Amino acid sequence: MRTELTSTHEETIRVSAPVNEPELPSLEVMHALADPADHGQAVLVNVPVLVDGINYGDLVRLGSEDECGVRPILEVVVPSGHVHFLAASEPGEVLDLAAELERTHPAYALRMEAASESVLSVSVHPDVDPEDVVVTAAAWLRVDPDDLEEGPAVGAPCASEAGPIAGAMAG
């Protein structure tokens, strides 16, 4: 009798989505887990920072790898129900903001990506009202809604919708 060992470690693949802001990089590269049932699909395991319309946990359809091994996200097949928002803190405070959010909301419900020492992208699980998390972030940042040009700020939550990604080109 022969026993085969299988790994429970799932390897991520690199995926990208177009950024629709002219002053920013043209693509955001993230990680996903390949769908074992369909090589053309994957589940996003990053919280997007620069791209709206996709979220952590979304099942996405992918194009062909580019010369760097990155596969473009073409469309959201099944939205995860997560939403994400950006919070801009003073430089060096992003980890403190993340700690406050983890202290005041269920740990399973948050995924966070620090884009810099002052920008945090926060994904909120569908079991939690994202507005509650936004309010917590705004209160901790002491955001002044009348002065959004300078200093800390909190963006609106962005949901995913099934369908093509704006600006995506088949690879």
CA–CA dist 127, 131 (Å, integer):
12
- Asked if 134 and 67 sit in the same domain, the reply is no
Please report whether residue 59 resides in a domain. Answer: yes
- Asked if 41 and 89 sit in the same domain, the reply is no
- Asked if 57 and 107 sit in the same domain, the reply is no
Please report whether residue 95 resides in a domain. Answer: yes
For 37-108, list the strands marked E by DSSP.
38-44, 59-62, 71-78, 83-88
Which pTM does this prediction carry?
Answer: 0.86
Please report whether residue 52 resides in a domain. Answer: yes
CA–CA dist 10, 118 (Å, integer):
31
- Domain total in the chain: 2
**In terms of residue numbers, what domain contains 114?**
83-159
Q: Which of 64, 80, 96 is the last residue of a domain?
A: 80
pLDDT tens digits along 81-138: 999 999 999 999 999 999 999 999 998 999 999 999 999 999 999 999 999 999 999 9
The pair of structure tokens assigned to 59 is 């099942």
Neighbours of 46 (CB within 10 A): 20
CA–CA dist 80, 56 (Å, integer):
7
- Asked if 23 and 54 sit in the same domain, the reply is yes
pLDDT tens digits along 126-159: 999 999 999 999 999 998 655 555 668 899 999 9
CA–CA dist 64, 48 (Å, integer):
21
- Asked if 56 and 94 sit in the same domain, the reply is no
